Structure 1
């Protein structure tokens, strides 16, 4: 069945199973499918999701109906299956028609919800044995299928490597914009990672940088970070990565009390220079609505003094020390020197990155970087998958 005309959406929904039987109850409609599944739908839910042009503006695909304008005790006058569609007639003369593919995709019986949850993309946790996915710059710039594979790998593993990138300054913007617009920060649209005397960040020195996420001082840390190597003739400066999600989950298994402390006790991060002063109070580990690890916020060199209750302070220090110790554990760490014409693209809210110290007297070292929000990655994937 072609669903575009029956669904107020840019996506289409395959017919998994046909509608076979309906049962009207006082507050809901029970739908039976050809494969035997039964899905209850409350009348309020059905009326709220009516896809007709009166309820959804078909140009924007956005809802214009507000459920408060419908009777709270709404009951269906009639419900039947017509040409495969579920048709419901309401008091007042309004009729809703639901495509069975769309209806099955949004059914909220326990079995359907469990099925959708199982089909959701899962983070692929990794350690030092991880063989990070490598992609070719020319293919990503020309082939939408290659671009989609890169973005899926970035979404699921949080760390990717691209080769064959031009080494002219500013080239990074071209590949970043294959995903979306670049997020500007106080460091610029593209920022230059070089050692300089008047550095406003430890990143712009020759020091080693411990494992961290960028801009933990912001309400929303950037989702994606690019680091593009233009020149790398200096001794040292190897890139180091760990999967923050893998470490957080290992901590949850090995020390649940420490894990819970890092999820619940907020820590302040600060970034200050002559012209700006950013501060953010938030836990080091953030969970999503399902209780899964969704974000790591960590940069010891941008951390303010801990502030929590007298009773909790020892626990916070124990948990914090344990987390940092785990980032130093060789079982989690990947180390690689980036060469000119190569770039890293990684999930900044998941993959912690570091750099070994380098000797600026031994040769030039020039990287460029930029940020894109994670929402833009996920949106680009969905559009390419259409």
Structure 2
């Protein structure tokens, strides 16, 4: 069961005793018939799990023992009943006053203008109220009141900040190779049940690919699935697009030839984050789909050929796409093959050999090193032990992370009465993550977040 993998993610965080919230999450996810994928996690991932796993147990609600102002440091210190301490800057507290003058609660939006914020403010007084809240009087006699749980959630300790970012963005990934059993879910359950939708979106985020089974083998199903999330990403190929062998094709995907491993739309500076492909009709022969974990492959490249990794994460490469579809288009972009964040963590892959431009805006001495680096990366991706191969059947929808996975297709042979036909659509990760947070709240309530955070507040 795929649930075993989710349990492996959750177990380090809740290793002392599984909470009712975790049990509910497991039960909800069991509705998905998802075999446990083989995956490997980098040492960074393992270290993070160990850090969270060793975090202390929860602090009960309204458990502040004492609060005081450290005027010289301009920090407010909260001492919790379990002996831990959290520190909060004066300026941040004043900036985030929750009173009706400073915050529009109906929109959870700040009303206090930055121009009106005294960034050097002090405190006149601070105390714990009888109902366990923090009350602050500022030098202009404005009063702010903060709930203990609200403060806990925003603790500035390294562990609490890390946990909050993981809760908000789910950045941890399960890396995999050819041994992956692609997670599966039921299309109708995902459409109509929040528990099934949550399990699907969690797997999509963590693993990067999920198969949905049981969709009608007719056009329009990717649009129905997108409406479950939010809305379709409109591109120059339309809201949805038909992958078929077409005469005078305006895209290599609209041919019967082999498609090498690629991400879609690197000719855009902001490529779609999530892709849906629905099999309406399969070819008579061939047409098997292929996928690799681009993040895992980048990790292998960094380990085996650090110079190639540095090249592909530093040089900007030109991509182009020209034609007419939803409307006429002439795209140009400059993207790095491998995007990394400020900490060197891979965040996006941008590679499509078909739309890589003949224009190569590099100094002459960097051209050959670029080709060597790109070939090294492609060779790693094409190793049989790294490639997952699968055949889509009518009614199957594959949903995957277009920033992470590279996908391809073997050549195929169709016949007039059995033409291969897939319908595709795009979404962006912002809207997908928005829906994930909403269905998570619907399924688990606010307890899901507070249960995870509560491990992190015994000490800073």
Structure 2 counterpart of 1:276, from 329, 332, 341 = 329
Change (3 A) 1:188 1:117: closer
Structure 2 counterpart of 1:160, from 206, 210, 224 = 210
CA RMSD of aligned residues (A): 1.9
Provide the residue aligned with 1:63 in structure 2: 110
* Per-residue deviation, residues 257-280 of structure 1 (Å, max 9, x unmatched): 211211111011111115211111
Provide the residue aligned with 2:65 in structure 1: 20
Distance in 1 between residues matched to 2:82 and 2:59, nearest whole Å: 15
Distance in 2 between residues matched to 1:241 and 1:111, nearest whole Å: 35
Matched, 1:367 2:422: yes
Structure 2 counterpart of 1:319, from 365, 373, 391 = 373
Structure 1 counterpart of 2:160, from 101, 104, 112 = 112
What TM-score results when the alignment is normalised by the length of structure 2?
A: 0.78
Please state how far the C-alpha of 1:14 moved relative to its aligned partner: 9.0
Provide the residue aligned with 1:3 in structure 2: none
Change (3 A) 1:16 1:239: farther
* Per-residue deviation, residues 350-375 of structure 1 (Å, max 9, x unmatched): 11110001113484111101011111
Aligned length, in residue pairs: 374
Please state how far the C-alpha of 1:290 moved relative to its aligned partner: 4.0
Distance in 1 between residues matched to 2:118 and 2:219, nearest whole Å: 61
Please state how far the C-alpha of 1:196 moved relative to its aligned partner: 0.8
Contact (CA 8 Å) 2:283, 2:413: kept in 1 or not?
no
Contact (CA 8 Å) 2:59, 2:81: kept in 1 or not?
no
User: What is the 5 A alignment of 1:152-301?
Assistant: 152-274=202-324, 275-301=328-354
Contact (CA 8 Å) 1:17, 1:35: kept in 2 or not?
no
Distance in 2 between residues matched to 1:114 and 1:232, nearest whole Å: 45
What TM-score results when the alignment is normalised by the length of structure 1?
A: 0.92
SS in 2 for 1:52: coil
Contact (CA 8 Å) 1:17, 1:34: kept in 2 or not?
no
Structure 2 counterpart of 1:92, from 140, 146, 149 = 140
Distance in 1 between residues matched to 2:78 and 2:115, nearest whole Å: 25
Contact (CA 8 Å) 1:89, 1:96: kept in 2 or not?
yes
Matched, 1:75 2:125: no
* Per-residue deviation, residues 314-365 of structure 1 (Å, max 9, x unmatched): 3222211111111111121001111111110101111111000111348411
**Unmatched segments (≥5 aa) in structure 2:** 1-57, 442-460
Change (3 A) 1:194 1:277: same
Distance in 2 between residues matched to 1:297 and 1:175, nearest whole Å: 25
SS in 1 for 2:384: coil
Provide the residue aligned with 1:354 in structure 2: 408
Provide the residue aligned with 1:330 in structure 2: 384
Distance in 1 between residues matched to 2:109 and 2:59, nearest whole Å: 22
Please state how far the C-alpha of 1:67 moved relative to its aligned partner: 3.2
Distance in 2 between residues matched to 1:150 and 1:94, nearest whole Å: 47
Distance in 2 between residues matched to 1:308 and 1:36, nearest whole Å: 58
Contact (CA 8 Å) 1:262, 1:320: kept in 2 or not?
yes
Please state how far the C-alpha of 1:16 moved relative to its aligned partner: 5.8
